[in-house]
Chains A and B, each alone.
Chain A
Amino acid sequence: MTVDLELDCRGMLCPLPVIELGRRYAEVPPGGVVAVVATDVAARHDVPAWCRMRGQEYLGEDTAADGVPRYLVRVSAPG
């Protein structure tokens, strides 16, 4: 998976990872992929929920090199 922007949200508590995503996803042009690397367990539910509410595409999760979950979002259009 080619990631255009990776947001390091390790150690951040909810809702900070989603706030970071909301602030910065528009830096990536439509079609690009933003990755949220988050230790907070709520991100597993809230990144997909953010995608649904903001009309973006949730691609699923993989893991960063250090094993921390990484949630992938394809940017459709400015939400």
Chain B
Amino acid sequence: MTNAADRSGVPLPRYFDTASAEALHPAARQTLLAALDQGYADPRRLHGPARSARLLLDNARAVVAECLGVRPDEVSFTSSGTEAVHRGLLGLLAARPERGDRVVLSAVEHSAVVHAATWRRAEGHVEVGVDHLGRVDPDAVAEAARQPEVGAVAVQTANHEVGTVQPVAAVAAALDGVPLVTDACASMGRLPLPEGWSVAAGSAHKWGGPAGVGVLVVRKGVRWTTPFPSDDRVDERVAGFENVPAALAAAAALQAVVGERDEVNARQTALVDRVRAGVAAIPDVEVVGDPVDRLPHLVTFSCLYVDGEALVDGLARRGFSVASGSACTSSTLEPSRVLAAMGALTHGNVRLSLTRDASADDVDGFLAALPEVVAAIRADAGL
């Protein structure tokens, strides 16, 4: 979905939830349609259509590798970012059972990291707290990793809820040989990968590729063993028949996004600054996350005395699609672990994440509507 007005001048609904999923990039759409006809066969067979599919898959791998600054043989395609996180983390633990299987993780990791760790071992993991901006301290992570039986460390590249960029390279430099897995799902394509990690994970639908494609990168020389049943296909890190057209479309989108990111990031960064300033002017509203060292497209804030679900609904009625980390909007009815770890207000929370073509008009429309929505909910509550 794009945010341009149609020819009648009536504004179309504004989509502000690209951190959950960004609409397919035009480059990906063309590639996907062509690849559906060319890449349907089984890449491991030896006939012509198979060779064609194999070529497209190898091409997708090469393009993704180039975009990420890694080697093609370090890249695997999974069925989602979650699967890439699961395989990435658990494969490190499976490769070195003698080291132990406790995981050191930041308190603001995505639930996929937490679920993978507790699936392997119910207890004994070490959560490292964050500051009020949501950032981990590299020395605190390294200190935790010196405890016995720690098999892996997990620190995201950037936070998916508040946008704060994590000091991954500094964490890696401070570690004494324990491998580091970085969940790069929130940042892949938008920001270059940091240095120093052993395993990285990404998710195509968050950069404008199709859903159902994740990227798992395992650096050359890293000890990693598949943690799940394998098969006799080509890529030993994943199992099952590859979705060649989707992988190629994901690669095309990534290439386009990386090519455009200097311009897009600068524009989005300025628009987010505008949102941060506008939102902070509303009484009893707190903008959370790092104002500067952050993802370019994402901003999160919490409104005191406001029900998160009512806020999302009120904004949706005015045509704005946003996400929320408040408990009443989650399937578990638990408040956001990220907001709680930062000491931020967990209710009345909104996460805004901009499309690649978001304009000042889109943002100004939101900033005009938000105070009314907040005031109406507070008035209903008698405040």
Contact = CB atoms under 8 A, between A and B. Distances in A.
Contacts, number: 65
Given A14-B326, A53-B345, A41 B383 contact: no
A22 interface: yes
B90 interface: no
Interface stretch (A3-11, A44-52, A69-77): A44-52
A49 B345 contact: yes
| B contact face: mostly helix, strand, loop, or mixed | loop
Contacts of A68: none
Given A14-B326, A41-B327, A22 B346 contact: no
Contacts of B286: 49, 53
B343 A48 contact: yes
Nearest to A49: B345
Number of contact residues on A: which range applies? 10 to 19
Interface of B: 284, 286, 302, 304-307, 326-328, 334-335, 339-340, 343-348, 381-383
B328 A13 contact: yes
Contacts of B339: 45
Given A15-B304, A49-B286, 5 more contacts: A41-B327, A42-B326, A46-B345, A49-B302, A52-B343
Contacts of B346: 14, 42, 45-46, 49
A42 to B, nearest CB: 4
Interface string A6-39: 0000000111001100110000000000000000
Nearest to B344: A49
Contact of A22 (B304, B328, B348): B304
A15 B305 contact: yes
Contacts of B304: 15, 18, 22, 50, 53-54
A14 B383 contact: no
A18 B305 contact: yes
A70 to B, nearest CB: 19
Contacts of A13: 327-328
B305 A22 contact: yes
A41 B337 CA distance: 12
A40 B306 CA distance: 15
Contacts of B306: 15
23 contacts: A14-B328, A14-B347, A15-B306, A15-B307, A15-B347, A15-B348, A18-B305, A18-B347, A22-B383, A23-B383, A41-B334, A41-B335, A42-B346, A45-B346, A46-B335, A46-B346, A46-B347, A49-B302, A50-B304, A52-B343, A53-B286, A53-B345, A54-B284
List of 8 A-B pairs having minimum Cβ-Cβ separation, nearest first: A15-B347, A49-B345, A42-B335, A45-B340, A14-B347, A42-B327, A45-B346, A42-B346
Contacts of A44: 340
Contacts of A53: 284, 286, 304, 345
A52 B304 CA distance: 11
Nearest to B286: A53
Nearest to A42: B335
A76 to B, nearest CB: 17
A15 B142 CA distance: 37
Given A14-B335, A15-B306, A53-B284, A45 B383 contact: no
B344 to A, nearest CB: 6
Contacts of B307: 14-15
A23 B326 CA distance: 21
A13 to B, nearest CB: 6
A8 to B, nearest CB: 17
